[in-house]
Amino acid sequence: MKKQLNWIVLCAVTVFAACSGDSKQNLEVKGTVANADQVSALYPKAIEDGKITVFLYEVPFGTETPPVQLDSITIPATAKDFALKGKGAKGGFYNVVIKNGPLVPVVYDASPITLNIDFAGKEKFYSVSGSEGTEELRDFLFTYADRRNEIDRSMLALDSLKRFAAADSVLILATNKKNDAIKGLNDFLRKSLNDIKQPVVAAFALGRASTTLEQPEFESQLAGLLKKFPNDPTLTDLQKRYEAYKTQVADMQKQQQAAAENRKSNSLIGKAAPELAMPDVNGKNITLSSFKGKYVLVDFWASWCGPCRAENPNVVAAYNKFKSKNFTVLGVSLDKDKKAWAGAIAEDKLDWPQISDLAFWNSKAVALYQFDGIPYNVLVDPKGIVIAESLRGEALEQKLAEVLK
């Protein structure tokens, strides 16, 4: 499987950055903890020797520096009050962290900031006072989680219906419900990005929005926030990183296009399949030419290749469906460990001839067939001519159904 960059990754990472400056001011986060005994339901190690430890971290600007601990306090699980202090930059992003437990994100727009933590609230376990930005972030996070959970539930229900071959009318209703859930989340995100008053919270919301909004709308929302908060370093840095990222993606796409054109010019389709002669797991030499007169899927794979193992069930299904129609498969492995190779053959139930020179990427097969990734395959007709390549999933069965009438 090729390594691809996704434009949302940049946003998801960057929005956790906090605005920082040269001046540091006194930050105090205080609060209460209620029902600490109930934290163990989700975080069994949060209470140690009857105590909980609470940390205050600054999340530095940028993506490379780890959070900086400013303060900590250990209190009995039965205690109620805590107070944490440190020097920080206003407008910054901070985390109040329960050791081995949950965290509360904090925006430093005032001091002191009061957190009332109540573990009886399960996911919605805290409230805020004294900080408009932290309240904004809390409200956003809780509503976002509700909307996101609604999408997840609708997608899970739809997948279940598909697995059990539900009627089309039922699938349509489930699909509409999923689409409505996604629309509801995106409508909430648009409203949030319009209404949020703190730039660091807006940047955080934009990062979440990047996972569901289309790229043009993401860019429009980013431009709108930059206009709304023209001097905010978090958003300015986000824009710079995003523009650099787009350039990187464009360069990668050019490379991929060039590689695709190169593969197309070097395609084996219409040409005689290069001869292969290698031993099977028992040491018996097998050649591709010995299958002449049959349609043969020459399947290049390896036991260590995750995508190959994921694709094997599709190959097994195609083999079982068409093996009685003058069709077979010849597996060619890039393994270097014979035991692992044989084990994968048995585990994946690959009931067709398998060969390998156990030479990894130095296999003669790579040089002969000029591929740079696996799984890869070619379909050879009874005359030994390659008639298709890179058939995966449904495409494999569709092509076999076409030629094996």
Of the pLDDT bands very low, low, confident and very high (cuts 50, 70, 90), residue 259 is: low
Q: Do residues 383 and 329 share a domain?
A: yes
- Domain endpoint, select from 222, 245, 268: 245
Q: Do residues 149 and 211 share a domain?
A: yes
DSSP summary character for residue 303: T
Domain annotation covers residue 27: yes
Q: Do residues 125 and 55 share a domain?
A: yes
Q: Do residues 184 and 299 share a domain?
A: no
Task: Give residue 4's pLDDT.
Answer: 30
Tell me whether the omega of the peptide bond preceding residue 112 falls within 30 degrees of 0, making it cis.
Answer: yes
Task: Give residue 104's pLDDT.
Answer: 94
Domain annotation covers residue 272: no
- Domain endpoint, select from 197, 224, 245: 245
Q: 52 CB contacts (<8 Å, ≥6 apart)?
A: 33, 36, 39, 46, 74, 75, 77, 98, 99, 101
Of the pLDDT bands very low, low, confident and very high (cuts 50, 70, 90), residue 40 is: confident
Task: Give residue 20's pLDDT.
Answer: 42
Q: Do residues 112 and 149 share a domain?
A: no
Domain annotation covers residue 42: yes
Return d(Cα 107, Cα 102) in angstroms, integer.
Answer: 17
The Cβ of residue 175 has, within 10 Å, a number of other Cβ atoms equal to: 15
* Per-residue pLDDT reduced to its tens digit, 207-231: 889 888 898 999 999 999 999 999 8
Domain annotation covers residue 252: no
Average pLDDT score over residue span 11-30: 61
Of the pLDDT bands very low, low, confident and very high (cuts 50, 70, 90), residue 61 is: low
Domain annotation covers residue 236: yes
Q: Do residues 163 and 239 share a domain?
A: yes
Residue 149 three-state SS: helix
CATH of the domain at 48: 2.60.40
* Per-residue pLDDT reduced to its tens digit, 185-206: 999 999 999 999 989 899 989 9
Of the pLDDT bands very low, low, confident and very high (cuts 50, 70, 90), residue 263 is: low
Average pLDDT score over residue span 241-249: 88
CB 116 within 8 A of CB 127: yes
Average pLDDT score over residue span 271-297: 96
Of the pLDDT bands very low, low, confident and very high (cuts 50, 70, 90), residue 304 is: very high
* Per-residue pLDDT reduced to its tens digit, 335-367: 999 999 999 999 999 999 999 999 999 999 999
The more confidently predicted of residues 22 and 116 is 116
Nearest C-alpha neighbor of 201 from the set 111, 105, 66: 105
pLDDT at 16 over 80: no
Of the pLDDT bands very low, low, confident and very high (cuts 50, 70, 90), residue 395 is: very high
Domain annotation covers residue 264: no
Q: What is the mean pLDDT of the chain?
A: 88
Q: Do residues 196 and 233 share a domain?
A: yes
Average pLDDT score over residue span 13-33: 68
- Domain endpoint, select from 76, 98, 130: 130
Average pLDDT score over residue span 34-56: 90
Q: Do residues 14 and 97 share a domain?
A: yes
pLDDT at 245 over 90: no
Q: Do residues 106 and 182 share a domain?
A: no
Return d(Cα 343, Cα 309) in angstroms, integer.
Answer: 12
Counting the structural domains of the chain, the total is 3
CATH of the domain at 389: 3.40.30.10
Q: Do residues 103 and 206 share a domain?
A: no
Return d(Cα 21, Cα 234) in angstroms, integer.
Answer: 11
Token pair, residue 206, equals 């934009």
Q: Do residues 198 and 297 share a domain?
A: no
pLDDT at 12 over 90: no
pTM across the whole model = 0.62
Nearest C-alpha neighbor of 246 from the set 62, 16, 12, 8: 8
- Structural domain span for residue 29: 7-130
Query: What's the Cα-to-Cα distance from 166 to each of 153, 162, 163, 174, 179, rounded to whole Å?
Result: 17, 6, 8, 10, 18
pLDDT at 319 over 70: yes
Backbone angles phi and psi of 212, in degrees to 5: -125, -25
* Per-residue pLDDT reduced to its tens digit, 129-156: 999 999 999 999 999 999 999 999 999 9
Domain annotation covers residue 88: yes
Of the segments 58-72, 113-127, 353-367, which one has the largest average pLDDT value? 353-367
Domain annotation covers residue 227: yes
CA 33 from centre of chain: 34
Strand pairing of 295-301 and 327-333? parallel
| DSSP letters for 104-138 | EEEE-SSSSEEEEEEGGGTTS-EEEES-HHHHHHH
Return d(Cα 401, Cα 405) in angstroms, integer.
Answer: 6
> What does the longest C-alpha to C-alpha distance in the chain come to?
82
Q: Do residues 58 and 122 share a domain?
A: yes
First to last CA, the chain: 32
Burial call 17-44: b when 16+ CB within 10 Å, e when fewer: bbbbeeeeeebbbebebeebeebeeebe
